[in-house]
Structure 1
Amino acid sequence: MRDDWKLLEHAHRSKLSTTKAARKSILDEHGVRYSVLNELPGWLPMRRSPIDFMHNFYTLVKRFLFDIVTTGHLLDSTGWDLFQDSINSVIWPSGIGRLPKNLADDHGLPKADQWRRLSSIYPFILWLCWRDHRDEIKASAPPVPASAKPQPTFKRDLRTIYKLVLYLSVSERILASKAISINDIDRGQAYLQLYCQGLESLGVHQTINSHLAMHYSLVFRQYGPAYATWLFGFERFNGVLEDVNLNGHGGGEMEYSLARDWVEKHRLYELAISLPKGASDKEHKLVQQAIDQKGLDRGTLRTQIAQFTSGDSILPPRLTSKTKLTSLRGLQHPQVYQLLVGFLQHKFPDLNVVDDMTAELGTTVLFASRSAKVLPFIVKDGIRFGSATATQTNADQFAGVLMHDTRVPCKIIYHFEIHLPDQVFYCSAVQKMVSDDRIPVMPWDHFATDLGVNIVYENIFGPLEIIASSQLSCAVAIIPITTDVLAEEKSLWVVQSFDRVSPKKDLFLFRNSFTSRLGLKLMTTGCAVIQTKMVTLQAR
């Protein structure tokens, strides 16, 4: 590590240098320029300069696609088409960004957030591209075209490279969490170190980013999780300022326009999230009208407002007070009414809930026609959860549901607003996705918990059941895959959690046969290395 006081000394020499050549000499020899930050009391350029996880790590993700997959010709034309089609088939939650539809032709992605999305699904997409008829990674890569310039110089071992893909994706899932323990920091760092060491053994050229990534552990210990220091927010602000119409005026007018627009948008943002609970519908409409006129009522602002205003609560759609009460017996699933009665009896035993056919003195009647509203979606913890029976869109109809301290992938059929004496209660009707021992072991199974994934049968669900809407835990992505190993039901879904709060919460319900057959997979050697590494880190 550099010495702060030496850096300050050379930075001061750079400031006093009178020629460009002298300043360049100091930069080349000591790697430092003068900065006005050096005038701040207590500023130490090394200790106060954390590595930006966003630019550094997602550059590694980008370099994997360009320097290994593309330069190494690990996908031929058919493979690139499959790569593109597989990504385009993913069902994403509506609250996150999408990936371009033409990745087979243009491998570049303009945003770090898109590289983040790609890194999360790397293991499943590349498995589809590199597998053989037994669903195992092929031993050899496609032949390199004779006209390829330059020819790849590293070892093109698909099985080893796929193992490194898993290390890269797992380390991203762990290190890019909002809350992270010291043990998780060391574990994520260890996986990332194995990734870089694996590239070294293959002969892949690496950049300074690989070296800087080996210091994440120190940065996280000093500054906290990646969310505390990464530059996603700053990049977003850059995009906001780029959208300001400046008309090319000089003489300070552009700077004034930027500052005025910046302050105006922030005041509007503060107003949107700070209206009191008793604000009238007219006030809400006026604020919403101003947001619409400024073009701010899109993705990021809407999601952030929902996050700030919801907290741990559940927000129904706007103007729910005007939504008509629902006839529960007239729904597409008529058994829902009795399921709701049974659920409320268990949830609120003191209310003695009964149906409208057995009303008695001292009971609370759940009327089939005037006690509930069906909602197309709800917002919980800033996350939008849709439903399969919504009339306008079927987005966000899949979710991870917390059941007995385990996340279970489910399909959401209905959301209900139940009107009980002196309170309003929200519950949802869901169907669990189906998984069993016949689904074959996959090469990522050992890392399934860290990757937040489970494998289920496509469009096969369990019976309808009622849960409290507070049990809705996270949005999920659905990655369709097929397998030739199964005699029947060849279409499967890889269900991936998109909760980034903590790596400890990504605990899905796995197949019973998972642990008994796990040792047969190709990841055994790498896992043994990780276990040895973890013992060393914990001992330190």
Structure 2
Amino acid sequence: MLEKVKHNGHDGGRMELTLMRNWVMTHLIYEYILSLPEDAHDIEKGYIDRIIRTEARENRGGIMTELAMYRAEASAGNGVSLPRRVSKLFNVSNILPDGQSYSLLLHYLQNLWPDLNIQSDNSMEEGTYFYRSTTCRPLTYVRKDGIRYGSIANKRTKADSLAFISDGPNHRVPVEIIALLSVKLSGQPPHVCAVVHRMRKDDDIPALPWDLYASTLGIHTTYANEFDAPEVVSISKIDSPLALILVHSRVLQKDLCISVSFDHVGSEPNNMFEDNDNDD
């Protein structure tokens, strides 16, 4: 997004200031769009439209394109937007070996919609059948809160397939996204989910200097190229993108991955100052 900002190559910190102002302004407008209630007055909506149109004229559509994506996400109500073109239905059993992906997704949907009494397409029981070949569509990517996430199932690129997912209050874990899916069962709106596997870690990994503040800093250490068993999660659990730093442990004689969160605009965890509060 910042590539489209005009700064004329000014030095002395003015270029950085211009980029920072654009970044802050864009995200403020995005937050305004998200926070607008459904019954917002037309005057409020008009103010935001006026700002977007003004910036669109000055930047020749750069910010307009980004804010169009943000507005689409806001209208969806969950911060998620899908590709304009969605792929054809496919056999979800082919994602993982031995049809494991179908079993995982079946169990996930049964927990998601317990009232539907979802059954396997091989079952003779009454209920809503989950057909492996006519229920799911693969997604090449999704955008959540303005950030693009892909998967290793994408044949064109495997970029953006690493992310942190939320695993309880103030706790995130690094994962690799295997596949992104849109699931449509009879009588239900489409549901977007992801097949992921967590990067493996255990107590054998030696203590590192940042471990005490790992949750606050968004840094996690795992084994390189080793993963836990696959699982299915809602797309709403995807929290932020990450970067991987490969290091070698002399203690373990193995390579480790240090996952660093790219979420630099979110709020700090609520428990950041809990220890200090308890000391008073």
Q: Establish whether TM, by shorter chain, passes 0.5.
A: yes
User: What does residue 367 of structure 1 align with?
Assistant: 131
User: What does residue 428 of structure 1 align with?
Assistant: 194
For residue 494 of structure 1, give the secondary structure of its aligned residue in structure 2.
strand
* Structure 1 unmatched runs, 5+: 1-94, 98-108, 114-229, 238-262, 272-290, 508-530
Normalising by structure 1, we get a TM-score of 0.39
Q: 1:234 to 1:432 in 2, by over 3 A?
A: closer
Equivalent residue in structure 2 for 1:331, among 74, 95, 105: 95
2-structure distance, mates of 1:415, 1:235: 29
Deviation at residue 302 of structure 1 after TM alignment = 4.6
Normalising by structure 2, we get a TM-score of 0.73
Matched, 1:309 2:72: yes
For residue 325 of structure 1, give the secondary structure of its aligned residue in structure 2.
coil
Q: Is contact 1:308-1:382 (8 Å) kept? A: no
Which structure has the highest strand share of the two? Answer: 2
Deviation at residue 484 of structure 1 after TM alignment = 1.5
Matched, 1:407 2:172: yes
Deviation at residue 474 of structure 1 after TM alignment = 1.3
Q: 1:431 to 1:325 in 2, by over 3 A?
A: same
Q: 1:357 to 1:269 in 2, by over 3 A?
A: farther
Deviation at residue 112 of structure 1 after TM alignment = 4.3
1:482-538 CA-partner distances (Å, limit 9, x unpaired) = 22222x32x11111122231111799xxxxxxxxxxxxxxxxxxxxxxx8xx68xx9
For residue 461 of structure 1, give the secondary structure of its aligned residue in structure 2.
coil
Amino acid in structure 1 at the alignment position of 2:118: V
Amino acid in structure 2 at the alignment position of 1:478: L
User: What does residue 150 of structure 1 align with?
Assistant: none
For residue 476 of structure 1, give the secondary structure of its aligned residue in structure 2.
strand
Q: 1:234 to 1:407 in 2, by over 3 A?
A: closer
Deviation at residue 421 of structure 1 after TM alignment = 2.2
Amino acid in structure 1 at the alignment position of 2:241: A
2-structure distance, mates of 1:111, 1:268: 21
Q: 1:332 to 1:342 in 2, by over 3 A?
A: closer
2-structure distance, mates of 1:417, 1:454: 29
Deviation at residue 330 of structure 1 after TM alignment = 3.1
Matched, 1:501 2:266: yes
1-structure distance, mates of 2:109, 2:197: 18
User: What does residue 21 of structure 2 align with?
Assistant: 233
2-structure distance, mates of 1:234, 1:429: 35
2-structure distance, mates of 1:373, 1:478: 29
What's the RMSD between the two structures over aligned residues? 3.6
2-structure distance, mates of 1:404, 1:236: 29
Residues paired across the two proteins, number? 238
Runs of 4+ in structure 1 over 6 Å off: 268-271
Q: 1:268 to 1:417 in 2, by over 3 A?
A: farther
2-structure distance, mates of 1:313, 1:493: 29
Higher Rg: 1
Deviation at residue 332 of structure 1 after TM alignment = 4.6
Q: 1:404 to 1:372 in 2, by over 3 A?
A: same
Deviation at residue 449 of structure 1 after TM alignment = 2.5
Q: Is contact 2:179-2:195 (8 Å) kept? A: yes
Equivalent runs, 1:76-475 vs 2, <5 Å: 112=16, 232-234=20-22, 266-267=52-53, 294=60, 296=62, 302-311=65-74, 312-320=78-86, 323-333=87-97, 334-361=99-126, 363-405=127-169, 406-422=171-187, 423-475=189-241
* More displaced stretch, 309-318 vs 395-404: 309-318
Which structure has the highest helix share of the two? Answer: 1
